Structure 1
Amino acid sequence: MAVPRARVYKPGDRGGYVWELQRRLRFLGFYTGKINGIYTWRTYRAVRLFQYAFGLRVTGLTDAKTRAKLWKATRRWRPGGVRAVQARRVYRKTSRQLSWNDIKLMAHTVHAEARGEPYIGKVAVAAVILNRLKSERFPNTPASIIFQPMAFEAVADGQIWMQPDPTSFKAVRDALNGWDPTNGALYYFNPARAKSKWIWSRPQIKRIGRHIFTK
């Protein structure tokens, strides 16, 4: 689809290009809203996630650089719609395929979620993210997992943007190298603070530091 290269797309814009933008963002797992050709705030947030994950300036606006990076990342996408299972097969990340931006975002999450925990507790948080990445029950990119609504408290309160310390990066590397202290956990919670009946109902695997890890 031909688009004037100088144009910057923003919330409120409409048209076929926005429809294609939403489709491509969904193909990568960043956009989960309705495909309606309207640059909604949900589209804006999906663009921000994509920009962060791919090392671009985070604005939420689709400029020429964002457009070029997104089109390159979704070169296998077709308007007819690659089936979801095919998209997952192409873009499902493994520990050996993560980019530097994936690792950095995971380190941000580990630092914010496990500050003050023993080192094994930091590795455990990283392992949970990787376990979700391997599961068909979750999105297929680290960014879309981490920024899923209500998935991580550190995202909701903004602490995810704190600068991660070196041990958080090391914890991510250890998890990538196969260390999973949680034995396959997909969730965790702090029993001193958790009020959700749902999280308490999950089958518990083990406790590490202040967190209980569950299936």
Structure 2
Amino acid sequence: MNKKFITYSMALIITFMMVFSIPFEAANAASPATLKVGSSNSDVPDLQYRLKTMGYFNTDVTSYFGTTTLESLKRFQKDYGLVEDGVAGERTWETLKKVSANQKELDLLARIIYAEARGESYKGQVAVGAVVMNRLSASGFPDSIRGVIEQPRAFTAVDDGQYQLTPDKTAYQAAQDAVRGYDPTNGALYYFNPDTATSDWIWTRKQTMKIGRHIFAV
């Protein structure tokens, strides 16, 4: 077998892998499935956990969409102005992802709260989580909790490594409250410590309040 043939064969293999990896990656990034009573797949526990973090689903998370999930989902849909059909379709998922967290996202939220505000009061810790949730719902920011938190230069604790610290129970509770809508900042999108801030830009934002060492702004 000559070298030209080997090179040509390798090029074909690489091309094949690149072409067929695109739909595979696209499938992995696909939106969650439409769910209704009787559904049973990996998206069901995600749905239930999100509803649970918001106080709508009050039993153990499973992989089956039953009547408890149905009633929980309908209450959520009613509260958020959605069609109360008990079906988790595109519009419901879109809204749910902007105001809730699954288990992995709650972990990330607790981590950033602990990293940025572990020396603050409980209110101050919830406030940091609320800023993340406010950005998630606002235009101009990434559309996932991970995206908001890990957006380049968005949070000092991500850049300096404190984000890797293990959050405590209080940070998780603060994350839970922030997800459920407790917002001591009244809609703030930014916060900073005036004693350590090095950005001139942050001082141009409209300041709304101060909680502990952090000034909150929009």
What is the rounded CA distance, in whole Å, between the counterparts of 2:193 and 2:28 in structure 1? 33
- Where does residue 151 of structure 2 map in the other structure? 148
- Where does residue 34 of structure 1 map in the other structure? none
- Where does residue 117 of structure 1 map in the other structure? 120
Structure 1: unaligned runs, 5 residues or longer = 1-13, 29-86
2:98 and 2:144 in contact (8 A); partners too: no
Give the structure with the higher percent helix: 2
Query: 1:207 is aligned with what amino acid?
Result: K
Query: 1:134 is aligned with what amino acid?
Result: S
Query: 2:136 is paired with a residue of what secondary structure?
Result: helix
TM-score (norm 1): 0.60
Aligned partner (choices 71, 92, 98) of residue 94 of structure 1: 98
- What do residues 148-204 of structure 1 show as CA deviations (whole Å, max 9, x unaligned)? 000111111111111101100111111122211101000001101112111010000
Confirm or deny that 1:157 pairs with 2:164: no
Query: 1:94 is paired with a residue of what secondary structure?
Result: helix
2:98 and 2:143 in contact (8 A); partners too: no
Query: 2:169 is aligned with what amino acid?
Result: P
Structure 2 CA distance for partners of 1:17 and 1:198, relative to 1, 3 Å: farther
- Where does residue 181 of structure 2 map in the other structure? 178
- Where does residue 50 of structure 1 map in the other structure? none
Q: Please state how far the C-alpha of 1:15 moved relative to its aligned partner.
A: 2.0
Confirm or deny that 1:212 pairs with 2:215: yes
The Cα RMSD (Å) is 2.4
Structure 2: unaligned runs, 5 residues or longer = 1-16, 32-89
* Identical amino acids, percent of aligned pairs: 45
What is the rounded CA distance, in whole Å, between the counterparts of 1:149 and 1:165 in structure 2? 25
Query: 1:158 is aligned with what amino acid?
Result: G
- Where does residue 201 of structure 2 map in the other structure? 198
What is the rounded CA distance, in whole Å, between the counterparts of 1:197 and 1:186 in structure 2? 17
Query: 2:98 is paired with a residue of what secondary structure?
Result: coil
1:88 and 1:140 in contact (8 A); partners too: no
Structure 2 CA distance for partners of 1:111 and 1:18, relative to 1, 3 Å: same
1:187 and 1:213 in contact (8 A); partners too: yes
